[in-house]
Structure 1
């Protein structure tokens, strides 16, 4: 089911597939719901999966309102209420993992478990420099293709660049009928910037799995390790040979891992 859901006056594009325990998928910077296509395809036989376009991405507009993690977390909550969902497993990625942290802190009664992929809690000077470069890149790249070629160098493994995967992804993004504007990219990036959840993570009670790629140069495993150390009982795993987007580059292994985690949480 694909539909526009009204959340606090903004129509948010939502896609839902499958039946079973509900999983909310929260995407990262610039990603529409389709970023989770391999999960929607691979896990919908066991779960009801809900993915959506964050404000400023895909089919969801970003108006003049101030965008923040709190707003984005309340958007996620609004989607769940609109769809009459009482509680969910949450899987999230990069900037979306910051939204997921905020969702679990602001609305803990709705979060059955958390999967945080390529996550962090507090920026250091390195990550702040990466973000400043991306902000510059969005407006100074000569065209959309050059911007994507530079940006995705940070995101995927060398194998994905060498085997043509990144070239295919760039082509698909350039052909999208709903491209993200440089302005919306920057505003969304700003919402993910400067946040600090470190001192509050101990309040998260939901079972949590933190995953990090050992080749991730944006959020190296040290970021995820800190998050897992602060969330009571959280598990932390480093995925060998993976970079910032393991759920896209190695979807079968990723899907199997999160499926096992959710089954353990649900007591299967």
Structure 2
């Protein structure tokens, strides 16, 4: 069961399961703790996993003031400190991967290792235009179902659309009672698409694994590779047949990859 954790003046809706080395999971645009359901189930026998609703998503309120990746990274740091977690293996996807980058740069002592799925350091022209498209989609679609059906075309593989996986995700999203407001979604989107860590990535000194989906049309492999190339010693792998969120489409394979990485890095970072 989830609960609110008071972290530096913000009540973050938090889920924590399992036993073992600490792992922090950070979601992307509008995603809540439920986006990590396959990891919370599949890895809880080996790790203590913590995840939370970002500010303005799910059950965590959007505070007054500007929205920035830096502020959301500080939220994550405050959560770890509030839970008395001295350091954790940190993993995030999409916009959440930017929060993880910034968390590692701003609070390096809290991060033992880093997994970045579908990431970038600075958006290129294509990604910026994709963000503008999503903004227009929010403003013009007639209902939530139409938005999800359209938005998910760039998030999941054709395989997942054709085998009913995406339909199940849509039904779960429609039934979820804690809706993100369109304005909060756009504020988060703007924050991650304005962020740039390019010049600071060489300062990341923890073991890092960067994963890309070969069929991801948004944070494409070349954007992910640029992040891996900038972080000293980072590993890079492309899941050739996958799109933006393989941790949901093929969770067993994704979990096995990151588990192997964490097992290898654990003795060096303990």
Per the normalisation by structure 1, the TM-score is: 0.98
Superposed, 1:108-257 pairs within 5 Å as: 108-257=108-257
Answer yes or no: is 1:22 the counterpart of 2:22.
Answer: yes
- 1:70: which partner in 2? 70
Question: Could you tell me how far 1:63 is from its partner in structure 2?
Answer: 2.7
Q: Deviations over 1:159-200 (max 9, x none)?
A: 000001111111111111111111111111112121110110
Instruction: Select between 56-65 and 125-134 the one with higher mean Cα deviation.
Output: 56-65
- 2:103: which partner in 1? 103
Structure 2 unaligned regions, length at least 5: none
Aligned to 1:267, the other structure's residue is in SS state helix
Aligned length: 268
- 1:149 and 1:64 map into 2 onto residues whose CA distance is 31
What's the C-alpha RMSD, in Å, of the aligned pairs?
A: 0.9
- 2:188 and 2:225 map into 1 onto residues whose CA distance is 25
Aligned to 2:15, the other structure's residue is in SS state strand
- 1:262 and 1:63 map into 2 onto residues whose CA distance is 34
Question: Could you tell me how far 1:202 is from its partner in structure 2?
Answer: 0.2
Aligned to 1:192, the other structure's residue is in SS state helix
- 1:133 and 1:241 map into 2 onto residues whose CA distance is 25
Contact 2:88 2:110 in 1 (8 A): yes
- 1:80 and 1:8 map into 2 onto residues whose CA distance is 11
- 1:88: which partner in 2? 88
